[in-house]
Structure 1
Amino acid sequence: MNDVAIHHRGNVDLELDAALLFYRSASGEVYATQHAARVVNDRPVLLPGVPMTLESLADFAELAARRTTYRGFVHERVVYFAPNLLAWWVPAGKRRVWFEADGKLGNRSGECNHPPLLFIVNKRSWSVFALRNDERPGAATKLYRAPYFNVWETGQICTGNVDTPDAINSDSIKPYEDAFFRSRFTHANTDRLIRRRGGAVRLWLDLLDGAEFPLHQLVDTTRTLADVVSTLTEKD
């Protein structure tokens, strides 16, 4: 077992007081008991426990939330926020991109037009989707495949050696966006990133030459924002 270090401002004496035990069934139901705890002969000992009530669980959750949840102003582009999960949208606009790819794209960079985007970050993955309409998405908004290199069909971004923020909160939005757009796009992770003759290579060659982004050629994922958020939160 790893040692646990408790940091506190000033000198504070801590004594073992209580413990919570959680039991989980195969179907996912959770049962909890609360036990007084004492140190006997230099060894921690659990005393008989009692079932935790909804009220005591709520008190515990509130106390934990004070230490673990984000506190601060919510970014204007955030569309969904939960512990360890953040979703926000990026309006359509011009941004510089860099390519280090084989073939016609080669080592090119330049400012080009991008579609409106939706980023979703949790503690396990980092995903991006495209939007058809340049407006704040809602739960029922359809998501489209983001036609970028190094992005899988599911929307998950191949991080590679890109540095991403340690925290997931409103303050990490700009660092995540910078990490994505300033990365070097090297190769397509799926065959059909866009409904366009010549595929993603032709798309980005045209965009680098100043073309408008063809929103009508985006590939439908057949999922909504609510679908993706539900899938991610179920895995937490």
Structure 2
Amino acid sequence: MNHTNDITENFGTLYYPKSALVFYETIGTDTATYVEHFDMDKNGNPINAHPLTVREANVLAKSLQTDDEKNQAFLKPKGILPTNVLHINPNAEKGTVLWYTKAQQRQLYFVNSLEIPNGKAQVPPMLWLADKNSLTVFALANNRRPMAKTLLHHAPFFNIYEKGNVCMGTVSIDIKNSASVEEFIQAWEDYFFNSYFSHSLSANLTKKNIVTLWKSLVNTDKPFPTEVLKTNNKTLKHLL
């Protein structure tokens, strides 16, 4: 016997048809267009056919304009451009932001197998490059605003490949098309620091054993020892 399972509870957000537009056009050289508006009943069947009214057309136009404005708002600052932003490509699909952060204290999380306690620690100055789907990070030798010729260092963290690209694992990345540059930066920094560091993807990121390094820093007030950073023979100019 065949058994039917109800899987509707596994669906995501359901959208129900509310109305429909049908466009009619005459045949010939001088074509004319007529638009008819239909309401939908609870079963999704078109009812109450009538010519599209001015009010209905205005509601539709406003909806389309709002979506367009959201796309145009991508990576625009809320006010004055933050001083830590170095470069922006505001393309809605392939947009990127390049920014830096000074040395700071952050809450860090580690998987149990590393035997490093979760806690706050000082992290080095960092350079960040991100688009809507991926993140690349580097370390900097000091807090000064980096220039095109500033030498980059490997970021001394787990989950990072030698080229600086970050393995986000199972983290669900959701950067909105309407995200301002401030929201974009905040989202990526939160994704990075609020996820669990789990494994080393390169043995050449620091001059000191990376596990020993973070064990010595977590839950202390020790400044990050920038002397353990290793250069990667690239400058900021390589990212532009």
Identity in percent:
30
After the TM superposition, which residues 116-155 of structure 1 pair with which residues of structure 2 at under 5 Å, given as runs? 116-123=125-132, 125-155=134-164
Distance change in 2, residues 1:80/1:204 (3 Å): same
Pick aligned residue for 1:160 from 145, 161, 169: 169
Partner of 1:96: 107
Structure 1 or 2, whichever has the larger Rg, is 2
Code of the aligned partner of 2:102: P
Distance 1:70 1:166, change over 3 A: closer
Distance 1:113 1:103 in 2: 19
Q: Is the 8 A contact 1:130 1:146 kept in 2?
A: yes
Given that 2:103 and 2:126 are in contact with CA atoms closer than 8 Å, whether structure 1 keeps it comes out as yes
By how many angstroms is 1:181 displaced? Answer: 0.6
- Residues 219 and 68 of structure 1, relative CA distance in 2, 3 Å threshold: same
**Following the alignment from structure 2 to structure 1, what is the Cα–Cα distance between the partners of residues 156 and 176?**
26
> 3-state DSSP class of the match of 1:175?
helix
Following TM superposition, by how much is the alpha carbon of 1:124 offset from its aligned partner in structure 2, in angstroms? Answer: 5.2
Considering Cα pairs closer than 8 Å and 6+ residues apart, tell me whether 1 or 2 has the greater RCO.
2
**What is the alpha-carbon root mean square deviation over aligned residues?**
2.9
Secondary structure class of the residue paired with 1:102: helix
In the alignment, does 2:85 pair up with 1:78?
A: yes
Residues 125 and 71 of structure 1, relative CA distance in 2, 3 Å threshold: closer
Deviation string, structure 1 residues 44-95 (Cα, Å, up to 9, x no partner): xxxxxxxxxxxxxxxxxxxxxx947644332221111113110111110111
* CA gap 1:173/1:70 in 2 versus in 1, 3 angstroms: closer
Normalised by the length of structure 1, the TM-score is: 0.63
Flag structure 1 segments of 5+ consecutive residues without an equivalent.
Answer: 1-10, 16-37, 41-65, 230-236
Instruction: Output the CA distance in 1 between the equivalents of 2:187 and 2:133.
Output: 17
Q: CA deviation at 1:122?
A: 2.3
Q: Does 1:206 pair with 2:216?
A: yes
- Residues 138 and 184 of structure 1: CA distance in aligned 2, closer, same or farther (over 3 Å): same
Aligned mates of 2:196, 2:160 — CA distance in 1: 12
Q: Indicate the residue corresponding to 2:230 in structure 1.
A: 219
Aligned equivalents of 1:221, 1:157: Cα separation in 2: 16
Q: Is the alpha carbon distance of 1:176 and 1:217 closer, same or farther for their aligned partners in structure 2, counting shifts above 3 Å?
A: same
Structure 2 gap segments, 5+ residues each: 1-20, 32-70
CA contact (8 A) 1:89 1:118 kept: yes
- Cα distance, 1:103 vs structure 2: 4.3
Aligned residues: 168
Matches of residues 1-236 of structure 1 in structure 2 within 5 Å?
A: 67=72, 70-72=75-77, 73=79, 74-83=81-90, 84-105=95-116, 108-123=117-132, 125-164=134-173, 165-167=175-177, 169-170=180-181, 171-196=183-208, 199-210=209-220, 211-229=222-240
Q: Is the 8 A contact 2:76 2:180 kept in 1?
A: no
CA distance in 2, matches of 1:205, 1:110: 10
The CA deviation at 1:209 is 4.9
8 Å Cα contact 1:90/1:117 also seen in 2: yes
